Structure formats: C-alpha cells, structure tokens
C-alpha cells in the first residue's frame, strides 16, 4: 500500500508530500517555475521524475493569464529528476527538448520514460540517463495539425508485461471528442511513429486526461475533466482484448473541479484523484464510497503513490 503521495502544485510551484496516514503534508521540492504536470517515481533507483509544460505566452496580452489565455505551442517542455528525498535536482531533458510535457509513465525494466507531449501532438520516450530521446507516436506532423485539439495527447500508461502503450487525446475543452488509444510499445518493423499499429479503444468521451492500468484485474482507470454528468469524473472499464473496442464505462466518482491526476493503490482498493481546486479525493475502487483526502491552496496536476 502507498505510504505517501507526491503531488504537483503548479500555482505554488512545488512537489507536495502527503502521508497516507493523515499527517500534515510537506513541501518536498520548491521553485518549480515551468508548470509541472506529470510525475513518476522509480522505486528501484529511488528517483522522482516530472515533466514540465514549459513557459507559455499570452494569447491576449490585455487579458489575465487564465488557462484559456495561455499558448503552449512554443517548444519549451522539459523533464527534471530529483532523489526521492527531494535532493540532487537536475534536468534530464532541458527546456526546449520537446513542446508540452503532460502525464509521465515508464517502462522501468527497459530504463525508459514515456510521456504525452500535448501541443507536440506526440508520444515521446527517453532513457533514464537522458539519452536516446525519440518519437513513439506522431499524431500530427505540422503546426496546423498540432494546433488541432483532438490531435493533442495528454494521458499515458505503459503495460510492460504485454508490451503495450495506452494514451488519451482529450479533444476540445468540454467537447465530447475524447479518445483512448493503444499501440505496441515497440514500433513494428516497417512502421514509423506517424504510421503505425494504433487501436482506438474508446471515442466520444467528454475529455479524458490521466490514465492508469491494473493489469491483474484487467481494468483501466482514467480521469475526465469534461462536461457533467459524464465529465469531471473518475472512470473505469475492462481492458479490451487485442483488436477489440472498449466496452462499458463505469463512473466511480463525479463532481470534481477539473479532475487531472490519478494514482491507484490496488492493495488498499483506493484511487486518489487530484483536481485544479487543490483537492485530492480518495475513491474506493469498488464504488462503495469516497472522501476528501487533502485540500491545499493552489491547483494539483499529476500525482503518484509511493
């Protein structure tokens, strides 16, 4: 079971540590000035990794810097690393290595990180030493295509056991055009990142964001920040067999204030969901109940359990 959660707070520019025992949270890493979004922990090497969305520009310089008024299409994304205690912070990939870093996952046995690059309309990966940065999936190849919201990748999960990669493309805000995809972890011979073996598992979703897999139970979980009643929810569904479309979706919890991060504690039977109001909610995986685990100032994006 998780001993604690790590959560990214963009407004407060920090990584927060929340003991699951209920003790007061602490700041683990501060001065995160590039809008952190996705986070992963390597249990063997005792390292934390996180993606940064980068430094946006204002669409309208006379308007406040709300989410809708921020342009992330400039190539300013990066990945940072720190020890599990918050020390030894360094860049794994320096700013400008890609466009916009979103959810982060990993194939630890391969020594690779995988993440969604939203405004880059891509899935990318890199070795844990920062070398061999490569494209795994390219949804769009030019600026016009990368600016189309339905092409932009957000959530990601790696199935090391079966050699598969899952990701979300959320579509326009509150647009009901979200999708969840799957492909092989290794690009097949004769295929390329822009032309490869991709399955569409679910389509027409409100606005799917972060995802996580429970391979033992054969279940995929995801957060959704779309319009109610099916949006701003935590969802689950059975992982479909190869070549099959996804089936019935069950809503486990609703009423979030822009649900983003997800960490599933399979042993405890709890999913932790973070949202843009600064709340982390603990939701029973069997649908029997939920509670507010924590509420902080600022907003919370990616979370991970340790």
Percentage above 90 pLDDT, the chain: 95
Task: Please tell me the predicted confidence (pLDDT) of residue 303.
Answer: 99
The mean per-residue pLDDT over the stretch 91-118 comes to 99
**Domain boundaries along the sequence of the chain:** 4-305
User: How would residue 63 be classed by pLDDT, with cut points 50, 70 and 90?
Assistant: confident
Q: Does residue 65 have a pLDDT over 90?
A: no
**Mean of pLDDT over the chain:** 97
Task: Please tell me the predicted confidence (pLDDT) of residue 242.
Answer: 96
Q: Which of 266, 258, 281, 277 is nearest to 209 (CA)?
A: 258
Stated as kind and residue range, the H or E segment containing 1 is none
Q: Does residue 69 have a pLDDT over 90?
A: no
Kindly write down the DSSP assignment for every residue of 189-218, as one continuous string.
TT-BTTBS-EEEEEEEES-EEEEEEETTTT
User: How would residue 68 be classed by pLDDT, with cut points 50, 70 and 90?
Assistant: confident
Task: Please tell me the predicted confidence (pLDDT) of residue 66.
Answer: 83
CA dihedral 125, 130, 134, 136 (to 10 degrees): -10
Tens of pLDDT, residue by residue over 105-149, are: 999 999 999 999 999 999 999 999 999 999 999 999 999 999 999
List the structure tokens of 141: 């190849």
Q: What is the pTM of this model?
A: 0.97
Residue for token digits 């993440």?
Answer: 115
Tens of pLDDT, residue by residue over 151-196, are: 999 999 999 999 999 999 999 999 999 999 999 999 999 999 999 9
User: How would residue 36 be classed by pLDDT, with cut points 50, 70 and 90?
Assistant: very high
Tens of pLDDT, residue by residue over 213-261, are: 999 999 999 999 999 999 999 999 999 999 999 999 999 999 999 999 9
Q: Which residues pair with 70 in a beta bridge?
A: 58
Please state the CATH superfamily assignment of the domain spanning residues 4-305 in this structure. TolB, C-terminal domain (2.120.10.30)
Task: Please tell me the predicted confidence (pLDDT) of residue 64.
Answer: 83
**Could you count the other beta carbons within 10 Å of the beta carbon of residue 114?**
24
- The torsion region of residue 287 among left (phi > 0), alpha (psi -120 to 50) and beta comes to left
Stated as kind and residue range, the H or E segment containing 143 is helix 143-146
More confident residue, 225 or 22: 225
């Amino acid at each position: 079971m998780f001993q604690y959660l790590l959560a990214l707070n963009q407004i407060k520019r920090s990584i927060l540590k929340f003991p699951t025992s209920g003790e007061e949270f602490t700041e683990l890493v501060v001065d995160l000035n590039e809008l952190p979004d996705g986070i992963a922990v390597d249990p063997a090497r005792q390292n934390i990794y996180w993606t940064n969305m980068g430094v946006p520009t204002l669409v309208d310089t006379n308007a406040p810097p709300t989410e809708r008024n921020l342009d992330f299409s400039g190539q300013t994304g990066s990945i940072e690393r720190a020890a599990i205690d918050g020390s030894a912070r360094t860049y794994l990939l320096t700013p400008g290595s890609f466009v916009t870093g979103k959810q982060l996952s990993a194939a630890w046995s391969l020594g690779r990180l995988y993440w969604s690059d939203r405004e880059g309309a891509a899935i990318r990966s890199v070795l844990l030493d920062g070398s061999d940065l490569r494209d795994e999936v390219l949804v769009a190849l030019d600026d016009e295509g990368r600016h189309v919201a339905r092409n932009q990748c957000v959530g990601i999960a790696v199935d090391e056991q079966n050699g598969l990669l899952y990701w979300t493309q959320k579509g326009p805000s509150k647009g009901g055009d979200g999708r969840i995809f799957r492909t092989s972890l290794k690009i097949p011979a004769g295929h390329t990142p822009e032309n490869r073996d991709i399955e569409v598992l679910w389509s027409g979703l409100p606005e799917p964001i972060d995802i996580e897999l429970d391979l033992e139970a054969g279940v995929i979980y995801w957060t959704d920040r779309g319009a109610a009643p099916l949006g701003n929810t935590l969802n689950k569904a059975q992982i479909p067999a190869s070549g099959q479309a996804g089936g019935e979706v069950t809503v486990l919890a609703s009423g979030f204030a822009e649900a983003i991060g997800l960490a599933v504690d399979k042993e405890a039977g709890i999913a932790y969901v973070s949202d843009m109001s600064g709340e982390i909610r603990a939701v029973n995986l069997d649908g029997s109940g939920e509670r507010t685990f924590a509420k902080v100032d600022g907003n919370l994006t990616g979370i991970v359990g340790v």
